[in-house]
Amino acid sequence: MIYEDLKDKKVLVTGSSSGIGQATAILFARQGCYVGVHYFRTKKGAQKTLKQVKEHSNGTVCGGDLRDEKQAREVVEKFAEAAGGIDILVNNAGTMVDRQSFESATLEYHEDVYATNVRSVFLVTRAALPYLKKSKGAIVNIGSVAGHTGGANGSGMYSGAKAAVATETISMAREFAKYGIRVNSVFPGFIETRFHETYSTPERCKEVAKKTPLGRNGTGEDIANAVLFLAGEAAGFITGEYIAVNGGLYMRA
Ligand SMILES: NC(=O)c1ccc[n+]([C@@H]2O[C@H](COP(=O)([O-])OP(=O)(O)OC[C@H]3O[C@@H](n4cnc5c(N)ncnc54)[C@H](OP(=O)(O)O)[C@@H]3O)[C@@H](O)[C@H]2O)c1
């Protein structure tokens, strides 16, 4: 699908060195966008994404730990300077960090999960806001089905953090509407990326695919398609909303 209105938009996709972010960056590039490819530890992954972005349009790579206020601001500023502004921000960077139960988790783990998944969204959004106000842009936050279900064993704190992202999406949508900025989120289900290579066994991946009504696990492209829809004019009257992309794994009434 090609969205003509997205052509030449300046799009920052956090966590685009891998998985969902990588697929999203490439799909925006296919629309003719200038794409900010962001990484934390996987510079090679970001370079690979940029190479694919450049097959369609143009972009730049910016690295930084988004838990850190200074680095988050630098990532945003570096991208905005290279691109000449920001039209679309995709807050995708995040991870489970580890699987730990409430009974035995350390305080450090708890703090890290929230810093990685919630603080990062706040820091990047706040830094990008002056640019988004100018462009009357759009924000898409990546939540998770776990924010609804509480997640599988050992992902309770991650689920709580993603529920915070979901709720803050609504709060941001209300606060930023006066600037003409729309804020929405996508809640991925079970998506086969490095995330599950790290936190799930191959057996669990197969089990989940089997119990998913559409009979498979998701891909990064499945999520990217929903992100693009929410970012563009096709969703021009949608704000504070979410799209669950999970093959029917979790359905709301
Ligand atoms: N896969 C799923 O089933 C699933 C389901 C629901 C929600 N999600 C969410 O979707 C998003 C993307 O996940 P994915 O599946 O694509 O996983 P992934 O392939 O592991 O990618 C995670 C991305 O987040 C970045 N990142 C992690 N910690 C960071 C930090 N402190 N600062 C900046 N960047 C950081 C990583 O950067 P580096 O690699 O460069 O370090 C990487 O680019 C995450 O928010 C995840 O929670 C995934």
What ranges in 150-242 are assigned the alpha helix state H?
A: 156-176, 194-199, 202-211, 220-231
| Position 113 pLDDT exceeds 90 | yes
**pLDDT score, position 161:** 98
Q: Is the CB of 42 under 6 A from ligand 1?
A: yes
| Position 221 pLDDT exceeds 90 | yes
Q: Residue type for 231, please?
A: A
CB 14 within 8 A of CB 92: yes
Per-residue pLDDT, averaged over 168-173, amounts to: 98
| Position 178 pLDDT exceeds 90 | yes
Q: Is the CA virtual torsion 144, 137, 69, 14 positive or negative?
A: positive
Per-residue pLDDT, averaged over 115-131, amounts to: 99
The C-alpha angle with vertex 125 and arms to 56 and 107, in degrees rounded to 5, equals: 115
What ranges in the chain are assigned the alpha helix state H?
A: 19-30, 43-54, 69-83, 107-114, 120-135, 146-149, 156-176, 194-199, 202-211, 220-231
What is the dotted CATH code of the domain comprising 4-244? 3.40.50.720
Question: pLDDT tens across 69-88, in order?
Answer: 999 999 999 999 999 999 99
**pLDDT score, position 253:** 85
Q: Is the CB of 235 under 6 A from ligand 1?
A: no
Can you give the pTM of this predicted structure? 0.99
The structural domains of the chain, with segments of one domain joined by +, span 4-244
Average pLDDT, the chain: 98
| Position 130 pLDDT exceeds 90 | yes
| Position 1 pLDDT exceeds 90 | no
51 — pLDDT class (breaks 50, 70, 90): very high
Q: Is the CB of 95 under 6 A from ligand 1?
A: yes
Higher pLDDT, 26 or 1: 26
| Position 193 pLDDT exceeds 90 | yes
The residue among 79, 175, 190, 193 whose CA lies nearest residue 133 is 175
Residue to probe by mutation, ligand 1, list 47, 71, 95, most atoms within 8 Å of CB: 95
Q: d(Cα 25, Cα 227) in Å, to the nearest integer?
A: 10
Which ligand 1 atom is the nearest neighbour of the CA of 14?
A: 34
CB 70 within 8 A of CB 96: no
Q: Is the CB of 22 under 6 A from ligand 1?
A: no
Q: Reduced to 3 states, what is the DSSP secondary structure of residue 93? A: coil
- Calculate what percentage of the chain has a pLDDT beyond 70: 100
Q: Which helix (H) or strand (E) holds 59?
A: strand 58-63
Q: How far is the CA of 40 from the centre of ligand 1 (A)?
A: 10
Q: Residue type for 100, please?
A: Q
Q: How far is the CA of 174 from the centre of ligand 1 (A)?
A: 26
